[in-house]
Amino acid sequence: MKRLLFLVHRWAGVALALFMTLWFFSGLVILHSVQMNQSRPQQLAHAEPLQAEAGWLSLGEAWERSAAESKQAAAAGKPASAAPAAEAGKAPAKRVDNTITEARLLRHAGQPQWLVEDTSGKRFAISAIDGHVQETSAETAGRIAEQWVNGNEASGLATPVHFLETIDKPMIVRNQDALRPFHHFAVDDGAGSELYISAKSGDVVHASTSVERGLYWAGNWLHFFRFLDLTGWSESRAEILMWSVIVAFVACLTGLIVGWLRWRPGLFGKATYAEGRVHPYHAFWFRWHFWAGLIGGSFAFLWALSGFVNGNTWKLFTPATPSREELVRYYGNGLPAAARDWKPVALDGTAGHAVELSWRRLGDQAVLLAYDRNGQRQPVAASVESFGSVALTDAVQRLAGDKVNATHSLLSEYDSYYYLRHGRGSYDRPLPVVRVDLDDEVGTRFYLDPQDGRLLLRQDNSRRAYRWLFNALHYWDIGFLYVRPAWDAWMLLWIGFGLVLSVSSLFIGWKRLKFTFMPKNKKRAAQVVNPEPELATESQGS
């Protein structure tokens, strides 16, 4: 049995040594990478002044005109892409008449637009002037890019921006399928900056320098095996990653057992190895591998375990986010009259500095929020200030079913499941927040934003277990490690041990492969001239 343990560890290590080195190296790089997909606060920081004017269409008018335009195009037998495009890049797209979940009023390249998301997840940019569904042309996207780079007071010293291509699905833009295709721009700022702008909405969805992209390719791209997307293995990438993690888990587990079996510290009078050594190894890489595994192997094991959990293999955990159908039930049907009929007007006070107005709805209530460049939001007098407990509880009841009782409470501090994490800011996890607990069998809990009605987080017993098995063991977002730079020092220490462990595995694995496939006569001669006690001892499993 002991021999089998040694053999499993040896060949699992040989098979995965290179990948584990890549995992630890790319994990180290990820620590120092920045988010290149632009968050809502980043987009607001670069947004154009809104300055709403009389005569702009209400949300209801814009939505109805776009629907009529789509029906006319369908009756004429023309695909939306063949409809005449106006000079500002208008190219009406086919629109399905679903219910609106969110609508944002803003300017792109000086033109006011309603950016609408419906219950199917589709996005539409609708002119606030005439109700046309718009596609952002490369020319219009160029003006958006110039404004993004140079600000709203562009001068003669403005940084040049150059159009490169329009691409349907760039590898570096993740989780943005609803906004494709994208216009790709290069920025002459000396840093190799690039932008990707959605042709669907006109939003800048990606901004990066050459250094940031380099960190991405050396970090996330390697860590998640995205290089397989360039080959014929793209469809099998997730499965290959899963089985690689399983083998890494087995290698770490057997390595821990082997290390503890081989360690003889001489406690309680027990014998040590020759010359008083606490391990049997003489060669340089074997010694480093032993100590790195004995000290840091537990963390490598926990990272492998949590990496396996992350993939939710075999659907062991409930989904992290509600499905589209569940969200439809949560938001309810219909568009409240307040959101449908409100006419854009010039705003007074601090709301007059808004760069975006956003309608959010729950059931028959709607809230209009004004956002400034700092990401601050405040309600506009045309709507209620926030969603009350009744509206939020009713939304949860629509989602969970009327037979489930719900209790709610207002949280002004983060807890162990709803908290800020490295890379996740206060926009994604605002306070205060309403927590709604259901009395169902799985302990379902929802965290809701009372100001805009967003369903921020759903937890049940399964997801709470996932939080501790993945987030706690992979990101180490627990206790004192919430605070930086304590978290950085902790991660650097154990990733360092992991790198030593995996790099030493490469050298040991290569030596083992050479020794295994060496002709028998040369193998005997090599053992006489330069014996390898480590290899011989492992073979015997002693």
Query: Do 207 and 195 meet the contact criterion of CB atoms below 8 Å apart?
Result: yes
Query: Do 400 and 440 meet the contact criterion of CB atoms below 8 Å apart?
Result: yes
Residue length, the chain? 542
Q: What is the C-alpha to C-alpha distance for residues 119 and 329, in angstroms, rounded to an integer?
A: 10
Q: Are strands 433-438 and 406-411 parallel, antiparallel or unpaired?
A: antiparallel
By the 10 Å C-beta count (0-12 exposed, 13-18 middle, 19+ buried), 59 is classed as: buried
Please give the full DSSP string across 365-423, using - where no structure is assigned.
Answer: EEEEEEE-TTS-EEE-TTS-SS--HHHHHHHHHHHH-TTS-EEEEEESS--SSS--BTT
Helix (H) or strand (E) holding 111, with range, is strand 111-118
pLDDT of residue 416: 92
pLDDT of residue 340: 93
Closest CA to 496 of 296, 227, 346, 307: 296
pLDDT of residue 82: 35
Q: What is the C-alpha to C-alpha distance for residues 1 and 205, in angstroms, rounded to an integer?
A: 55
pLDDT of residue 126: 95
- Residue 263's alpha-carbon distances to 24, 149, 422, in angstroms, are 25, 59, 37
pLDDT tens digits for range 498-535 = 999 999 999 998 888 888 877 877 666 665 555 445 55
Q: What is the C-alpha to C-alpha distance for residues 469 and 479, in angstroms, rounded to an integer?
A: 15
Query: What single-letter amino acid sits at 519?
Result: P
Please give the full DSSP string across 133-187, using - where no structure is assigned.
Answer: EE---HHHHHHHHHHHHH-SS--TTPPPEEEEEEESS-TTS-S-GGG-SEEEEEE
Query: Do 202 and 139 meet the contact criterion of CB atoms below 8 Å apart?
Result: no
Sites in the chain below the pLDDT cut of 50: 80-93, 95-96, 531-532, 537-542
Please give the full DSSP string across 45-103, using - where no structure is assigned.
Answer: HTPPP----TTPPPHHHHHHHHHHHHHHHHHTT--GGGSPPPTT-----------EEEE
End-to-end CA distance of the chain: 11
What burial letters (b/e) apply to 142-175, b meaning 16+ CB within 10 Å? bbbbbbbbbeeeeeeeeeebeeeeeeeebebbee
The reported pTM is: 0.87
pLDDT tens digits for range 60-91 = 999 999 888 877 777 776 654 433 333 344 44
pLDDT of residue 526: 60
DSSP class of residue 483 equals: S
Tokens 């030596």 map to which residue?
A: 511
SS3 state at 219: coil
pLDDT tens digits for range 196-241 = 999 999 999 999 999 999 999 999 999 999 999 888 888 899 899 9
